[in-house]
Amino acid sequence: MLDQNLYTCFRDRRPTDPSALFLRADRGSLAYGDLDGETGQYAAALAACGVSPGDRVVVQVGKSMEFVLLYLACLRVGAVFVPLNPAYTPTELAYFLDDAKPQVLVCDPDADATHDLAALAGEAGIGHCLTLGMDGSGSLPEAAAALPPSDDIIHRERDDLAAILYTSGTTGRSKGAMITHGNLISNGLVLHEYWGWVPGDVLLHALPVFHVHGLFVALHCALLNGSEVIFLDAFDPARLVAELPGASVLMGVPTFYVRLLNTPGFDRSVSDGVRVFISGSAPLLPETFDQFEALTGQPILERYGMTEAGMITSNPYDDGERIAGTVGYALPGIHARVTDRDGATLPAGEIGILEIAGPNVFAGYWNMPEKTAEEFRTDGHFITGDMATMAEDGRITIVGRAKDLIISGGFNVYPKEVEEQLDQIPGVRESCVIGLPHPDLGEAVIAVIVPEAGGEAVGASGAGAGAISSESVATFLADRLARFKQPRQVVLVDALPRNAMGKVKKKALREDYAGLF
């Protein structure tokens, strides 16, 4: 069988000039010609930790060029890359370590110093804990630098795992989506073609690299094109204004575009050289699309995807209209249908659940065969949990979510996970977490709490022993949940609205507080 290692696929499409730049970061740069040697050293460091094909490598570190080298090295040795949001607390990390059972944990040196993550890894039975800082320091780069580079690129079949990406679950337990080399190669090549990548394209990269959007969609397109990437540590709109004139492609979540529109100096002189602005991970509001087009003359290209399937649909690049509020058409090779709850396909225009099939669809949830089975139809279609309509011509509009999910600034928050924590706060009788429209983040997380009878319901001041307040909730959650999952506001009520079945009427709550921001 032909080698299906994603690294080989990137390698085959590299620029012929070895000095051509791959990453240009503030701290330095990395040329395509140096990739084999540098990733070979990281591969040697992984081998020295006993990493074999199929072993997991959990990585919870900030964005850096070395992070990318580590990712590519994992592909080379056939390890399964498991990136985690650095915002996750040690309590959250412990769950992922226990579930993924990695051979190696790579963490941030400061986080290790503060929380003794090496000890945490030890308790989870992980023999190797290495560090990697955003400044390129740490025991992993030191180990790599001291080793001769490995020349190996292990042979992989299409179905071999390349990564596990955790997505929070409706049950409150995160599920690890198993993503194969075949998934990544097929989706990368389709996007590269569909979005019209051309020689000389330069990608401006300001996304985090622990999710599909920044790691797979953005970086893979650039690698498949042999493109230069302006690799920023994080999203800073003023910095984007400064860098955009040297770029031809930008990918971002809707919050990027909302903030760019409010940034002084962002105008046509900055945007004119950009070939395409791409948005996804959360719904782009039609007013953002309109304002952006009015200012720059360019319609943002909105696409839709999810961790389990990479990119699924896209508005057209050049052959058709980009319509605000729609996510375009199923990408080539991907089949999409809108169904009722029993899986029967609905006529064009009717609202139902979006189901998809194709080479992009993941191999299932790690260690959760029952959960996996629940989310697939017998004919292999994956049930996305997104509500959609499909027009006669196949154009898809996402109209809502069947799954109880909040997307805040492009990060997913499952209310159940937050509610489970809130319910443990002394003085909380019950809680309900909802997402409300937020001008910057798209949706913001809100906690609606019923205090115990007699418990003091206080406002923002937090006065009163044992009283539930925004502050006491924040203090309780600080070590338990990543910051982006924590409620932006706490609302205290006497009782939650319920339907005849006793289920909390979240829709009613969302309507009651719709104007909070």
Report the site for ligand MCA in 75-94 (rule: CB under 6 A): none
Q: Which two tokens stand for residue 403?
A: 């799954």
Closer residue to ligand MCA in complex, CB, 352/442: 442
- Closest to 314 in 3D by CA, of 293, 328, 298, 335: 328
DSSP state of 428: E
Nearest to ligand MCA of 97, 207 (CB atom): 207
Q: Which does 121 bind (CB under 5 to 8 A by kind): ligand AMP, ligand MCA, none?
A: none
Is 325 in a helix, a strand, or coil? Answer: coil
For 48, the token pair is 């020295």
Q: Which of 205, 211, 220, 381 binds ligand MCA (CB under 6 A)?
A: 211
Closer Cβ to ligand MCA, 133 or 280, answer by number: 280
Any contact of residue 441 with ligand MCA (CB under 6 A)?
A: yes
Candidates 7, 96, 277, 411: give the one binding ligand MCA (CB under 6 A).
Answer: 411
Q: Which does 255 bind (CB under 5 to 8 A by kind): ligand AMP, ligand MCA, none?
A: ligand MCA
**Which residues in the 212-241 window bind ligand AMP by CB under 6 A?**
212
**398 binds ligand AMP, rule: CB under 6 A:** yes
Query: Rounded to the nearest whole angstrom, what is the least distance from the CB of residue 403 to ligand AMP in the complex?
Result: 7
Applying CB under 6 A, which of residues 140, 178, 306, 491 lies at the interface with ligand MCA?
306
Q: Among residues 23 and 436, whose Cβ is nearest to ligand AMP?
A: 436
Q: Tell the smallest beta-carbon distance from residue 228 to ligand AMP (Å).
A: 26
Determine the Cα–Cα distance for residues 58 and 82; give it in Å rounded to an integer. 5
- Name the token pair of 95: 């769950």
The closest alpha carbon to 210, from 487, 482, 486, 488, belongs to: 482
Cβ proximity to ligand AMP: between 37 and 286 the closer is 286
Contact 298, 317 (CB under 8 A): no
DSSP letters along 189-224, please?
A: HHHHHHTT--TT-EEEE-S-SSSIIIIIIIHHHHHH
- 32, 166, 195, 235: which one binds ligand MCA (CB under 6 A): 235
Cβ closest to ligand AMP, residue 186 vs residue 412? 412
| Encoded tokens for 86 | 């650095």
Judged by CB under 6 A, the residue of 4, 315, 384, 469 near ligand AMP is 384
- Closest C-alpha among 225, 254, 316, 160 to residue 12: 225
Q: How far apart are CA 161 and CA 106, in angstroms?
A: 19
Task: Tell me: does residue 214 bind ligand MCA (CB under 6 A).
Answer: yes
Q: Which does 335 bind (CB under 5 to 8 A by kind): ligand AMP, ligand MCA, none?
A: none
Distances (CA, A) of 210 to 12, 87, 114, 215: 25, 11, 22, 6
- Strand 382-390 relative to strand 352-357: parallel, antiparallel, unpaired? antiparallel
Residue placing its CB nearer to ligand AMP in the complex, 237 or 280: 280
Per CB under 6 A, 314 contacts ligand AMP: no
Instruction: Give the burial class of 479: count Cβ atoms within 10 A of its Cβ; 0-12 exposed, 13-18 middle, 19 or more buried.
Output: exposed
Name beta bridge partners: 310: 306
Which residue type is seen at 68?
Answer: V
Q: Nearer to ligand MCA by C-beta: 42 or 235?
A: 235
Rule CB under 6 A: say whether 61 interacts with ligand AMP.
no
C-beta contacts of 47-50 below 8 A and 24+ residues apart? 47/77, 47/150, 48/143, 48/147, 49/103, 49/104, 49/127, 49/128, 49/130, 50/103, 50/127, 50/128
- Contacts to ligand AMP by CB under 6 A: 167, 212, 280-283, 302, 304-307, 327, 384, 386, 398, 401, 407, 412
- Contacts to ligand MCA by CB under 6 A: 207-208, 211-214, 234-235, 253, 255, 280-281, 305-307, 408-411, 441, 483-484
